[in-house]
Chains A and B, each alone.
Chain A
Amino acid sequence: MNECTLRAAGLNKSYGTNHVLRDLDVVLEPGKIYGLIGRNGAGKTTLLGCLTGQNTFQSGEVTCGGEKVWENRRALERICFSRELPETVMGSRNSQKIGHYLNAAMVFFPNWDQKYAEALLKEFNLDPKKKIYALSRGQRSMVTILIALASKAPVTILDEPVSGLDVVMRERFYQLLLEEFSRSERTFVVSTHIIEEAAAVFEEVLFLDRGQIIEHAPVDELVDQFRYVSGLAEEVDRACTGLTVLSTQDMGRRRTAAVRGGEKALAELSSYDVDVAPLNLQNVFVALCGQEHPQA
């Protein structure tokens, strides 16, 4: 399985003067579900494109199992990057049928599972004869999810797979993902803006901010480094010495601080007259990456 470790080293990618990825390093080990989280314009889709040989980059290296990915059929066959299907192609509406995309996937992915694909078509109530432009946004998401799952590619990447789905389908998607993961131990990378409902599905999470991976850790280990501390402002300040204060919010004499620290430093909070509460993954992300737009 080690042959499917996906690795980027020193990745730099610019569009003109826009430096999207900056000396980015990341290692994705086989057999895990990764969550990729970043704000709009952080470079998520660009990164996923670079990792899967669909985007060029100026410098750095991307390898899968030690082999360069770019224009390397052997490496690319192990990777599925199921992108959102375009509504228009070259300025006119996309009148390809669902079946066309499935046939193309069947040809490209050596492990393609036709039975699984048919079962998912039925479950999603998709008609292969239907044209892409006639589908709703949610239905187009379902097609990309279907291709990703049925590709059976050892490394499968889904970019915003739930963006058009209603809440019931989103839950169903995470169920399907976990079922397939339990069966196959494939590697999945899932990017999403709807963080909290996906947090428990991820084993490790990657925060992408301004072209760099600023956090890469198991979800619970990351979340457990953070606390909200609130109470009388001076007492909160006393309690927070020795911790990294990420943001504070005042309301009269009351102050709430989002802090980060080690297990020992956080345990000492209990000796002050303050309320201590946990953060969820979404709170942690906002605390770390939401600084230009403070919530105040």
Chain B
Amino acid sequence: MRGTLNEQSLIYQQIAAMLEDDILRGVYREEEQVPSTNELSRAYNINPATAGKGLNLLVGEGILYKRRGLGMFVAPGAAEKVKEKRRAAFAARYVAPMVREGTSLGLSGAELLELVQKALEEGEQP
């Protein structure tokens, strides 16, 4: 997990996002335990209720699940669920701001698409 919290979004959302990042990176694999409320509280100097809220957000989305008396674990298929969720938010989060910025700079739709195409080609090179 990242070492620091920022002020750009609510802390429990940052905790959830950090855990998602780590699930995607394979830091926590399916059926492995993730840090507890108290561990997160200690690591980031945050109220345990806030840490718990972050964990429960992911439980609600089926990315983590609770084992009674043991703690929180990564659900089977969690990484795919995180990707699905982020794909669904991708247009609003990345594409819409890009189009808005491009339009305000006077770029045409064709020019924007061309830029995306170029970035894709550059990304393919080793």
B10 touches A220 (CB 8 A): yes
A223 touches B45 (CB 8 A): no
Instruction: Determine the residue in chain A with the shortest Cβ distance to B13.
Output: A220
How many residues belonging to A are interface residues under a CB distance threshold of 8 Å? Answer: 20
Interface residues of B, Cβ cutoff 8 Å to A: 5, 7-12, 38, 41-42, 44-50, 53
Q: How many A-B residue pairs have CB under 8 A?
A: 46
B-contact 0/1 string along A208-244, CB 8 Å cutoff? 0000000000111001100000000000000000000
Known: A33-B47, A178-B46, A219-B50. 5 other contacts (CB 8 A): A32-B49, A174-B45, A178-B41, A182-B41, A201-B45
Tell which of B12, B38, B53 touches A182, judged by Cβ atoms closer than 8 Å: B38
* A202 contact set on B, CB distance < 8 A: 47
A200 touches B48 (CB 8 A): no
A200 with B45: in contact, given A182-B38, A223-B10, A280-B7 (CB under 8 Å)?
yes
Instruction: Determine the residue in chain B with the shortest Cβ distance to A172.
Output: B45
* B5 contact set on A, CB distance < 8 A: 200
A220 with B11: in contact, given A179-B42, A202-B47, A203-B50 (CB under 8 Å)?
yes
B48 touches A220 (CB 8 A): no
20 CB < 8 A contacts A-B: A33-B47, A175-B42, A178-B42, A178-B45, A178-B46, A179-B42, A181-B48, A200-B11, A200-B44, A200-B50, A201-B45, A201-B47, A203-B47, A203-B49, A220-B10, A220-B12, A223-B10, A278-B7, A278-B8, A278-B9
A178 touches B47 (CB 8 A): yes
Query: Smallest CB–CB gap between B49 and chain A, Å?
Result: 5
